Amino acid sequence: MTPPKPLIAKSTNASQRAASIGGVQTEKKKVVPRDFARRVSSKIVSINALEPDETEASNKTAALVYRNMGETQLYSQFLELIDIFLAEEEHQKYGGTTWVSMLWQDEEFPDYVDFVKAVVKQTIEWHIYGEKPQIIEESSGKPFSHYAYTLGESFIQMMKLNSDLYDFITIIYGEVIHIEMERENLRTKEKEKEKRRKISGRKVSDDKQVVNVKKLYDDIIDYVSQRGEFRTDTLNQKNPNEFILVLADRMRSTRRYIIQDIMNRFALERKKQLERDLKEKEATAEEIIIVAKPFNTGLHLYWIEKRYNFKYLAVEKVRIALQVLGMLMGTLAIAVGYIEIVDLSLIESLIAGGLMFVVSKTLCSRKMFENFYPVDVTEELEKNVSLFTPVVRKMSQPQLYSFFYMQIRSEDNTPLVHLLPEYVRYIFSVMPDRKNLLITREESNEMMDHLELKVSRVQRGR
């Protein structure tokens, strides 16, 4: 089959050909006649009138459209071509068959499918920024996007010709949903990046202002549903638009299925991205191995610090007891001299008692007992904990489980394993920037419960 010659000469340059399939337009803008779309429509009508074979007519139509409107600057002409068909009652069917002719040869002519996808993508842009004014649906008076009318009416014409053409409706409508969902996902990612980077200063606004906030795929379904409504004059009057209501229901089902599929895919991608981010933030195996030694040292220091008060009180008891004993002996010496039980005058007993008071106060003072007091290792413990808390902050829940279980099994920690849960709580309590922990509060509480259970099992010899 020899495709018809284009109504406008088209360059055969490879880069320009790529631009015709949705790429960047590199060639100079061509001068397009005002009636260009109408001339193409007349050609298509002639092809379908003169060609008895529908397949051959469809081939020629697709080739004609692609050769004349396959470039980015001519996408608007293609939509105008569809509008021309839809506006003329006797030619409305071509508003549906033109789309079909571009899609049904997807294996032999994949460029045609790329063309349709590029047109759909550009249509969404025009819908968002209101390239054309809204249309008013006649029966209801409700406003709809001009592009919702173009695509929705095209789908109605396809369904009117043959319900089997819904497969092609799914291709076009599914592409609309995919593109809009991708745009929304990209916009969400950009907002998250800006929030994460805490970008400040004047915000650069878009040159174009968004006119239609409503998604095109929702507007299309609303238009089709509205077109399917029919106000009956009698109870037995049949709705001639029943097939349009069926189309709207099928499109809603398609929308739910595609959106759910896209959301699942986005969720999977997000999960993978979070896992990648987590891997980048997580502590490495080398870091975990290195911090094991200061962690064990800190556990020993924590044990010493925990016993500090008990040792201090024990020494204080001995010191005070000796001091009181010396004072009692001085008091006894004074009493003995006073009642003349021994051969001591009162003055001599007072001197002896005074000496006992002085000696007990001097020899049993805190300064004399300094060597017996326990050493306060609080400062050393805090310095030691600061050595490994940066790594602990970067550990995920599985890494923390593994790390703490290794310390439980360590022979060096066997005498102090009962202190491990309390020691871990102390670490988290003195750790700076606890909000930057890789684990949540719930995960931390869950980990502590498991740690205590593991320690109790080890102590029972299980």
Q: What is the mean pLDDT for each group of 10 consecutive residues in the chain (462 residues)?
A: 38 36 42 89 94 92 94 94 94 94 88 95 93 87 93 95 93 95 86 64 56 91 91 70 92 94 88 74 79 86 79 77 80 74 72 80 78 78 83 82 84 83 84 73 83 82 60
What is the pLDDT, as a whole number, of residue 342?
Answer: 65
Domain ranges of the chain: 14-190+209-276, 285-459
3-state secondary structure 116-160: HHHHHHHHHHHHHCCCCCCEECCCCCCEECHHHHHHHHHHHHHHH
What is the pLDDT, as a whole number, of residue 19?
Answer: 38
Cβ within 8 Å of residue 11, ≥6 positions away = 17, 27
With b for 16 or more beta-carbon neighbours within 10 A and e for fewer, the 15-39 pattern comes to: ebeebbbbeeeeeeeeebeeebbee
CA 129 to chain centre: 28
Where does residue 141 fall: left (phi above 0), alpha (psi -120 to 50 degrees), or beta otherwise? left
What is the pLDDT, as a whole number, of residue 78?
Answer: 96
d(CA 418, CA 401): 17
Torsion of CA 108, 114, 115, 117, to 10 degrees: 130
**Closest to 430 (Cα-Cα) out of 384, 388, 385, 377:** 385
Tell me the whole-structure pTM to 2 decimals: 0.62
What is the pLDDT, as a whole number, of residue 427?
Answer: 83
